[in-house]
Structure 1
Amino acid sequence: METICGRDPASGAMLEILVAEGVVTGIRHGVCDADVWIAPGLVDLQVNGYSGIDLNSEACTVHDVCLLVRRLACLGTTTFLPTIITAPVAKMAACLKTIAEARAADAMVRHAIPCVHLEGPHISPLDGYRGAHAVEHVRPPSIEEFALLQAGCGNLIGMVTLSPHWVGSAEFVRALVGQGIVVSLGHTHATGEQIRAAAEAGARLSTHLGNGIAAELPRHPNPLWEQLAEDRLSACFIADGAHLSAATMRAMMRAKGFERCVLVSDAVALAGSPEGAYRADVGGEVVIGPDGAIRLRGSNLLAGSGIVLKDGVARVAAELSLGTALTMATSNPGAFVRARGVLRVGADADLITFRWRSGDTTLQVQDVMVRGRVMQQESEENLSR
């Protein structure tokens, strides 16, 4: 049996977590003294890549996926959904196949990646709403195409982002929900009626709300108000300081209700890279500016983010509270992927300890435990093998 200690971010109380055989076997209060916070491992529903590894590239290998899992774990993200964006069917299928093969080959990958998120291709074809997705590959919903992609990856797709403006969208949503797929609305110019119909059919989320939308909108109605007002939809937010201003994010979270807010990174392969011009599978020709934001060259359109989830948690903690921010990055997203991100007896021992003070722009992760295994003991040499 192992013991890991820290302060509860919600209450400040000291916690002693007992771990055996990869699960939490006990939680004791006030019995240890620690100068770190403790929380469940972070859960990220939207990861396109990180640290040079691009999940949307056909050059991505099984080894790359295994390495990405370990790198993100050491940064506190113990569960994440690889996110495959709008592309030709063959390319999407190839990317899905690589992830499926990595899960089959590596138990840690299998644990860290419960399913895959398809962001597209059934999104808005309109400029602005479409974001960095290639317009030539945007297409209407197709049950046949979805079945083909699922068959090729062993039913690994667990979340789909789409725009419900397409004819037959509600029926498509209902069919996916019937298969246990989480449907999220995003990159959409849909009307209020179409958004409500999708929610009635079982859609449960809004993908990076406030982004993937035109720069100028009617005051009302518009897709932002309609999704904020729809209580059947939780909302994902990218808290990198570029996708949403602090004031906008705070107001939208308050409108949606903190219990229905989810933080995502939307990290891409270029996350963490220095300023300059690059070529990327997500967005094509892109530029990283002084603020670390990744934009399409010659445009203000964003092409994913340059953060990992612990950075977003710190930004939201500065605006709200540490406990609230962590809930948005653990149990709230975890509810959409097999109840991950919880700290309770019987749960997987996916735990992080970290230091954070108001004003910090990231969590200073100290130790990471994945199913009872302390990841911080891994060397870079081992991570790269």
Structure 2
Amino acid sequence: MILQGKHYRSGLPIQISCSEGIIDSISETQTSLEKDLIIGPGFTDIQINGYGGIDYNEIQSDPIKLAEISRLLYQEGVTTHFPTLITNDPAQISRLILQIVYLRKSDELSRMSIEGLHIEGPFISPIDGPRGAHPKEFVSAPDWSLVQKWQLESKGLIKMITLSPEWENANSFIEKCVEHGILVSIGHTNATHQQILDAVSAGARLSTHLGNGMHPIIARHPNYLWSQLAQDELGASIIADGFHLPAEVIEVFQKVKKDKLILVSDSVSLAGMAAGDYDLHIGGEVSLTPEGKLHLKSNPSILAGSASNIRRGVSFMIKNKLSSLSEAWEMASVRPQKLLNPGHILFEEGAIADLILCQMDENGELKVVKTIKHGQEVFSA
């Protein structure tokens, strides 16, 4: 396979040669390009609850139905994603894990796309506000034996856990996770400053959707937002959909977190769906606006999750002049891969050929033209 386009960082025309799923060479080319294509690494989204009307948090009558998520995400340039299971009955989480294991065993594209699982809860804050939409009856203290059971059931697929360090046994739990190669992220938290410091010392390395999953009103100081921003060891993921965070907040987060800031979609099942009113098993009656805002039907000021995707997050960053094309692209690709796979090479000779070709319209919207996964074309516009 030979691909040509402008390098997403340098803007220079390049040619990429791939064989057997690996990038053989990347070289500059003097050939005039037919289209104004930009080529770069595929996007990695470490927080996908669902997409296109399908939910990883629901038991399906046929688990193969979940395979549609990977295919829809390929259309948005997402070559790798982490199904995200939120707070639930532990036995139900086991069933959802086994469903994903079956999916990966039965569908090659899903197996290639799903490189890990993100468990978001149940070890979060039970407090209204920080808990968000997670069901309170299933919130519990960190339980390592439970995670061991889930990890066995997942065949080692759990790569990330979001928790709140306000629990008494949080630090020993974090240390166990780190010891077993699981990234620990702080989220949905009501932790004190000291508890956050201790969690970082124990090995926590990320903040989940920073600025969301919080009280509507917090003390000016101290508070858990300042505490997480102040820790250099903590990276942060953000939802850049124009609804979860104002542009100026993202600008501040960028100045503080720098190259440790990454994009996630945190998409729910209604992402990629038509505008209208829906009834969700988590969230109840909700409305999705033509602009992509998902809110409670009874209260437009309360968000009911994200209906966006990471490509739109990249476009939001560019259109609002929050970052350059190359930086926004890396926030959605290189940075999350390095976070979850230290030492992993991306978009260079010898790397797995996970690539996307895009075009930029006059409004700064990035459009995916072609997606390559493990050297295979999985989407073409």
The letter for the 2-side match of 1:19 is C
Give the conservation status (yes or no) of the 8 Å contact 2:371–2:380: no
- The answer to whether the 8 Å contact 2:253/2:261 transfers is no
| Aligned residue runs from structure 1 range 28-177, under 5 A | 28-34=27-33, 35-59=36-60, 61-177=62-178
Structure 1 residues without counterparts, runs of 5 or longer: 379-385
Q: How far off its partner does 1:245 sit? A: 0.8
Residue-by-residue CA offset, 1:160-193 (whole Å, 9 max, x unaligned): 0000011111111001111100110001111111
Query: Structure 1 residues 130, 297: closer, same or farther in 2, change over 3 A?
Result: farther
1:383 is matched with which residue?
A: none
The alignment of Structure 1 onto Structure 2 pairs a total of residues equal to 375
Cα distance in 2 for residues equivalent to 1:329 and 1:36: 18
Structure 1 residue 358: Cα displacement = 5.9
The percentage of counterpart residues that share the same residue type is 38
- Is 1:56–1:282's contact at 8 Å kept on the other side of the alignment? no
Name 1:16's counterpart in structure 2: 15
Which one-letter code corresponds to 1:12 in the other structure? Answer: G
C-alpha displacement at 1:338, in angstroms? Answer: 2.9
Show CA shifts across 1:333-366 (max 9, x none).
0113336682001111111001114633x42111
Moved over 6 A (4+): none
Contact kept in structure 2, 1:133 and 1:283, CA below 8 Å: no
Q: Equivalent residue for 2:257?
A: 256
Q: Which residue of 1 aligns with 2:195?
A: 194
Per-residue Cα deviation, 1:312-334 (whole angstroms, up to 9, x for no partner): 00111222110110010011001
> 1:283–1:303: 8 Å Cα contact kept in structure 2?
yes
- The alpha-carbon deviation at position 26 of structure 1 amounts to 0.3
Question: For the Cα contact (< 8 Å) 1:330–1:341, is it kept in 2?
Answer: no
The TM-score, its normalising length taken from structure 1, stands at 0.93
Give CA deviations for 1:189-222 in whole Å, capped at 9, x if unaligned. Answer: 1111111111111111110000001111111111
Q: C-alpha displacement at 1:250, in angstroms?
A: 1.4
Shift of 1:67: 1.9
Shift of residue 291 of structure 1? 3.4
Once residues 296 and 206 of structure 1 are traced to their aligned partners in structure 2, the CA distance between those partners, rounded to angstroms, is: 25
Once the 2 structures are TM-superposed, how far is the Cα of residue 54 of structure 1 from its aligned partner? 0.6
Contact kept, 8 Å, 2:277 with 2:287, in 1: the verdict is yes
CA distance in 2, matches of 1:377, 1:356: 16
Mark the CA change 1:133 to 1:301 in structure 2 (over 3 Å): closer, same or farther.
Answer: farther
What amino acid is the match of 1:137? F
> Aligned partners of 2:360, 2:100: CA distance in 1, in Å?
33
Q: Give the secondary-structure state (helix, strand or coil) at the position aligned to 1:198.
A: helix
Match of 1:325 in 2: 328
Pairwise CA distance, 1:154: 1.8
**Partner Cα separation in structure 1 for residue 274 and residue 22 of structure 2:** 39
TM-score, structure 2 normalization: 0.94
Q: CA deviation at 1:301?
A: 3.5
State the distance in 2 between where 1:175 and 1:358 align.
49
Deviations 1:267-286 (A, max 9, x none): 11111333333222343333
Cα separation, 1, equivalents of 2:304 and 2:201: 31
The equivalent of 1:382 in structure 2 is: none
Aligned counterpart in structure 2 of residue 366 of structure 1, from 359, 366, 369: 369
C-alpha displacement at 1:102, in angstroms? 1.2
Matched residue, 1:352: 356
Q: Which amino acid aligns with 2:356?
A: I
User: Could you tell me how far 1:51 is from its partner in structure 2?
Assistant: 0.5
1:115: Cα distance to partner? 1.0
Mapped contact 2:119–2:160 kept (Cα < 8 A): yes
State yes or no: 1:225 paired with 2:226: yes
Q: Determine the C-alpha separation between the residues in 2 that align with 1:126 and 1:252.
A: 25
8 A contact 1:56–1:281 mirrored in 2:
no
Between the aligned partners of 1:363 and 1:6, the Cα distance in structure 2 is 14
Q: Is the 8 A contact 1:265 1:308 kept in 2?
A: yes
| 2:96 match: secondary structure | helix
Report the Cα offset of residue 64 of structure 1.
2.0
- Residue 377 of structure 1 and its aligned partner are, at CA, apart by 4.9
Give the partner amino acid of 2:166.
Answer: H
What letter is aligned with 2:354? D
* SS of corresponding position for 2:17: strand
Q: State the distance in 1 between where 2:87 and 2:23 align.
A: 39
Paired amino acid for 2:304:
A
Distance, in Å, in 2 between the alignment partners of 1:341 and 1:328 is 15
Cα deviation, residue 310, structure 1: 0.6
Q: C-alpha separation between the residues in 2 aligned to 1:123 and 1:248?
A: 24
| Structure 1 position 107, deviation (Å) | 3.0
Shift of 1:297: 4.2
* C-alpha distance 189-93 of structure 1, shift in aligned 2 (>3 A): same
Alpha carbons of structure 1 residues 346 and 201: separation in structure 2 relative to 1, 3 Å: same
Counterparts in 2 of 1:376 and 1:155: CA distance versus 1, 3 Å: closer
Looking at structure 1, the residues matched to 23 and 86 of structure 2 have their Cα atoms a distance apart, in angstroms, of: 36
What is the one-letter code of the residue matched to 1:37?
Answer: I
SS in 2 for 1:31: coil
Question: Is this contact kept in 2: 1:18–1:24, CA < 8 A?
Answer: yes
Which amino acid in structure 2 is aligned with residue 27 of structure 1?
I
Please state if 1:285 is matched with 2:285.
Answer: yes
RMSD: 1.7
Indicate the larger mover: 17-26 or 32-41. Answer: 32-41
Q: Report SS of the residue matched to 1:78.
A: strand
